[in-house]
Amino acid sequence: MKKRVAVLISGRGSNMMALIEAARACDYPAEVALVISNRPEAAGLQHARDARVKALAIDHKAYATRAAFDAAVETQLAAEGIELVCHAGFMRIQTEAFATRWLGRQLNIHPSLLPSFKGLHPHKQALDAGVRVSGCTVHFVTAELDAGPIVAQAAVPVLADDTPQTLADRVLSAEHRLYPLALSLVASGRARLEGGRVLLNALVNSTDPLFSPTP
């Protein structure tokens, strides 16, 4: 049985589409059953509908409190029998109560190698810090922003002439591969949260270092 997944978005939804496409494979352990955007104008809503996935706007501006918005989201999750939630460019902070209730069942992708460069403008932060390797991280969502236990990471080289945009584009391609992998590990039970850390099961670990610049 595939796990029923909701994807929460705020914008163009390219990571959402990567998840929808990966989940079409019959041996993938999850299906995307619902997409919710807190911004009605998000382009990702139409992309989801074009892919024949149910997509709803729940405009956060229509709710007086964070708790009221979270409750509206939770009503839709329950109505669709959702078991796992993936944040994909979802730019809303949830209440601690929501994050706690869904602990171990919510993932987020962030375009940096956490715990470096949390929050906004991670690519500018990476370039300002002068790192030679950046990347992306999929982690379980906790009440603290971009801080939950890490499921998977991909390292991406930073090039000498990178701008925040060229680095973002390179990292985004890695995100589109990493997020489906991470969701599949969690949905199949090969990655699970235990004692505040993620335990991985039966994985092939690569010992190859990534050099940047190349020797």
List 3, 7, 8, 15, residue binding ligand GAR (CB under 6 A):
15
Q: How far is residue 121's CA from residue 169's CA, in Å, rounded to a whole number?
A: 13
Cβ atoms of 126 and 118 closer than 8 Å: no
Is 113 among the residues that bind ligand GAR (CB under 6 A)?
no
State the nearest-atom distance from the C-beta of 140 to ligand GAR, in Å.
Answer: 14
Q: Contact region for ligand GAR (CB under 6 A) — 23-31, 94-102, 107-115, 187-195?
A: 107-115
State the nearest-atom distance from the C-beta of 51 to ligand GAR, in Å.
Answer: 14
Contacts of 116 (CB under 8 A, 6+ apart): 125, 126, 129, 131
Q: What is the DSSP string of 57-101?
A: E--GGG-SSHHHHHHHHHHHHHHTT--EEEESS---PPPHHHHHH
Taking CB under 6 A as the criterion, which residues in 144-183 touch ligand GAR?
A: 146, 172, 175
Q: Is 124 exposed, middle or buried (0-12, 13-18, 19+ CB in 10 A)?
A: middle
Beta bridge mates, 74: none
Q: Contact region for ligand GAR (CB under 6 A) — 10-18, 52-60, 92-100, 125-133?
A: 10-18
Q: How many Cβ atoms are within 10 Å of 141's Cβ, its own excluded?
A: 25
Is 104 among the residues that bind ligand GAR (CB under 6 A)?
no
Is 110 annotated as catalytic? yes
List 7, 14, 149, 158, residue binding ligand GAR (CB under 6 A):
14
Q: One of 110, 121, 139, 176 is an active-site residue; which one?
A: 110
Q: Residues with catalytic annotation?
A: 110
Q: Write out the residues near ligand GAR by the rule CB under 6 A.
A: 9, 11-15, 44, 88-89, 109-111, 146, 172, 175
